[in-house]
Chains A and B, each alone.
Chain A
């Protein structure tokens, strides 16, 4: 059994015992009011128990009422309903109790008063007067007898003892006493039935006689019956010492008369006693009634509060439970205290919260599944190399993956909720151009499209392949759009490179083979024909023609070799290379050549650069091509200068070695800036147009990065980033990726 159950059981037992005690006390009190001598002794204690019960009940009721009023003022749920029920129950119980009390008090007052009505009182008074009159007759007669004896004794004088006995017998007295006025007995005459010791003369007798009045009184006896005492002065001469004598006589009252007088006396005494106690009796009865009334009233009000509380409690629980559910607490479970309609309501509420709890758990599970799927999708999108941007219908960014930010060169992920497009950015900003291009498509009315965009940016031309698809409707609202795009610049470049490589390979194969027979044929013609020519002019013409053929064949052979070199799949022999040392060596070779042409070569090396892993021959070719390209660009310029520098910089997540070659020549044409590394893209009149293409090829073979730009003060600038030795592994990985992309192309 749990603690609350024990507490309830103990309370019920205590209240039951208290109730039984009060009930017993009330019953005892009623018994005491019915003249029970045994209970009358317990009356004060019973009354005290009842009053203690009253006090306890008043205390309990006051506590309950105070709590009720506090709840009312505090707007506690259910307090007003409880107060209304308490008021109704209390009034319904109070009215009949008060009515019964009022009539009971009236009945008691009138009933008790009727016991002591005037007729009974008067009859008893009359009986007493009548009895007293009858006895007074005797008393007067005996007083007369006494006075007669005293007169005769005053005359007789010395013969007093004999006279006393004679007179006593004559008047029927039981005792005659002669005494002085101070009470000293002189002579006594007693009958045989009286006591041996003579009666003293009481002080009041002496006092009255001294005042000259005879004394007579009726004296009730201890064993019942009456005696009549008379005292009269004795006439004649005073005794020696001047004291006068007196005669005290005791006369019996007839037994029958005494019995009747006793009956009257007892009835009168009993009636007087009860009459005197009439008011306390009524007060006691009314007090009993009042205590019962108060107990009943207080018990009724307490019961009203208790009942109201029992009735309202489930409603309070329901309201509190409803509030808790409204605040999201679906674990609320109400106690089922009964099996009536209220119990059914509580059961329904618990069932409802149980269903709601299950529904919420299902919803949470579904939401969790959706979140999981969304997280998976986010991971997939993050790992995609394709940019994905979802847009709201009003062109605000909803989501964007990392690839989108990398392709557009702008942190779009952090701009969720902001309008799509780099407002305020430079016109060459890729993100701004991309957003404007897409917006133009939308303004044109297309919602699902696929298109290739070409943008001119500061870093060159960028080609994006973009597809747009509308998202499903969200209810009645449009769902927005999703843009999927990819940077295909490199892929197209690779395609072009592959095409050029194939052209070069075929050119080398198809052209190089006939060049040797052509040259041999031209030399044979000169060798066979020249000696036989007599005309010097013809000989000179043959000499020039064959020479021209040979020279052009050689030129074509060089061109074909260059193509072959560009198309040749390299076999790199990687080794640790001191980049600064190699730059110094190549620069020294060109410094003399540049001095001849009036070009200054300046070298600035960063000693913090570590070694790089590269093919030394290819790397030397790369530097040669760059310097050759710079020297050729400065041809005809008086103050030409070339600056070669190395620098350790951070690119992405790793350090790289940057080689920068700058000149102060005319620089690259703006429109060709994105194609300077393509084969046969050149502004020079001489050369194969493959120099920078081969440079980029070598850079990509080493996993590096190359950029071409114009300097702010004029001239061209080419930056090459090569991975340092610690990034060699990563370099190989990138090279493999590039090879595979090139093969796909």
Chain B
């Protein structure tokens, strides 16, 4: 687990993609570009915070629908990356909320062709698990249990804290030198809504 001051995303600008497609349509080149008909759907369905041995932990349930093109991309060797962005703010009445903690929990899902297993790797801890199906692997990263968020010592009694979490889905290449090529195909990159919960120590 790593704490960061703010969230970091590598999201390609929308207008750049639109402009590029416009140019491609204009020049009418003969090279077809893969288009994903369906886009990914990502939604934080449920989040619960509970105090366990002096640490507030989160149970998160996420709904993820991955289109076939994304599944094929994973089987072809591309790596699916799911990042949870979590922030905890202290609620203030007359001033903007004060940030208390911000962290990212990152997972990678990839296909191991030799063993025909799907690997789930926690990039924060380096822990790796393997699953026989992609759906099992996705279920694993979509169902987080006991994710430590903030130490109880960092929150004051009587105060109200608001936590927010969202998930960001992206695709990586193994070495990232070809990552820019996903610019043309990465229609399944998406992000979920922000889900909030209230913490009253």
* Partner-B contacts on A (CB < 8 A): 32, 35-37, 40-41, 43-45, 47-48, 51, 54, 105, 109, 128, 131-132, 135, 204, 217-222, 226, 261, 264-265, 268-277, 279-284, 286-287, 290-291, 293-294
Give every chain B residue within 8 A of A265 (Cβ-Cβ).
112-114
Known: A35-B178, A105-B29, A284-B184. A220 touches B73 (CB 8 A): no
Give every chain A residue within 8 A of B178 (Cβ-Cβ).
35, 40, 273-274, 277, 281
Q: Is B94 an interface residue (CB 8 A)?
A: no
The reply to whether B20 and A270 form a contact with Cβ atoms under 8 Å apart is: no
How distant is A683 from chain B, measured CB to nearest CB, in Å? 123
The reply to whether B23 and A54 form a contact with Cβ atoms under 8 Å apart is: yes
Give every chain B residue within 8 A of A293 (Cβ-Cβ).
27
Q: Is B156 an interface residue (CB 8 A)?
A: no
Closest-by-CB residue of A relative to B178 is: A277
Find residues 156-201 in chain B having any chain A CB closer than 8 Å to their own CB.
173-185
Give every chain A residue within 8 A of B131 (Cβ-Cβ).
204
The reply to whether A280 and B182 form a contact with Cβ atoms under 8 Å apart is: yes
Closest-by-CB residue of A relative to B172 is: A273
Closest-by-CB residue of A relative to B32 is: A279
* Partner-A contacts on B (CB < 8 A): 10, 12-13, 15-17, 19-20, 23-24, 27, 29-34, 72-73, 76-78, 110-117, 119, 121, 126-128, 130-132, 136, 173-185
Give every chain B residue within 8 A of A218 (Cβ-Cβ).
114-115, 117
How distant is A270 from chain B, measured CB to nearest CB, in Å? 6
Give every chain B residue within 8 A of A109 (Cβ-Cβ).
31
The reply to whether A44 and B132 form a contact with Cβ atoms under 8 Å apart is: no
Closest-by-CB residue of B relative to A205 is: B132
State in angstroms the CA–CA spacing of A135 and B112 once bound together.
14
Closest-by-CB residue of B relative to A37 is: B177
The reply to whether A283 and B24 form a contact with Cβ atoms under 8 Å apart is: yes
Question: Which listed residue, B78, B116, B176, touches A276 by the CB 8 Å rule?
Answer: B78
Closest-by-CB residue of B relative to A229 is: B130
The reply to whether B77 and A35 form a contact with Cβ atoms under 8 Å apart is: no
State in angstroms the CA–CA spacing of A680 and B113 once bound together.
163
Closest-by-CB residue of B relative to A52 is: B19
State in angstroms the CA–CA spacing of A204 and B118 once bound together.
13
How distant is B73 from chain A, measured CB to nearest CB, in Å? 6
State in angstroms the CA–CA spacing of A105 and B111 once bound together.
34
Give every chain B residue within 8 A of A294 (Cβ-Cβ).
23, 27
Question: Which listed residue, B27, B78, B111, touches A290 by the CB 8 Å rule?
Answer: B27
State in angstroms the CA–CA spacing of A261 and B76 once bound together.
18
Closest-by-CB residue of B relative to A125 is: B113
Q: List 29 A-B contacts (CB under 8 A).
A: A36-B177, A37-B177, A40-B176, A40-B179, A44-B12, A45-B13, A48-B15, A48-B19, A51-B16, A51-B23, A128-B113, A220-B128, A222-B121, A265-B112, A269-B77, A270-B77, A270-B174, A277-B173, A277-B181, A279-B184, A280-B34, A280-B185, A282-B31, A283-B31, A286-B31, A290-B24, A290-B29, A291-B23, A293-B27
The reply to whether A287 and B24 form a contact with Cβ atoms under 8 Å apart is: yes
Give every chain B residue within 8 A of A282 (Cβ-Cβ).
31
State in angstroms the CA–CA spacing of A277 and B115 once bound together.
23
State in angstroms the CA–CA spacing of A105 and B174 once bound together.
28
How distant is B33 from chain A, measured CB to nearest CB, in Å? 5
The reply to whether B114 and A273 form a contact with Cβ atoms under 8 Å apart is: no
Question: Which listed residue, B76, B117, B136, B184, touches A275 by the CB 8 Å rule?
Answer: B76
Give every chain A residue within 8 A of B185 (Cβ-Cβ).
277, 279-280
Give every chain B residue within 8 A of A51 (Cβ-Cβ).
16, 19-20, 23
State in angstroms the CA–CA spacing of A75 and B160 once bound together.
78
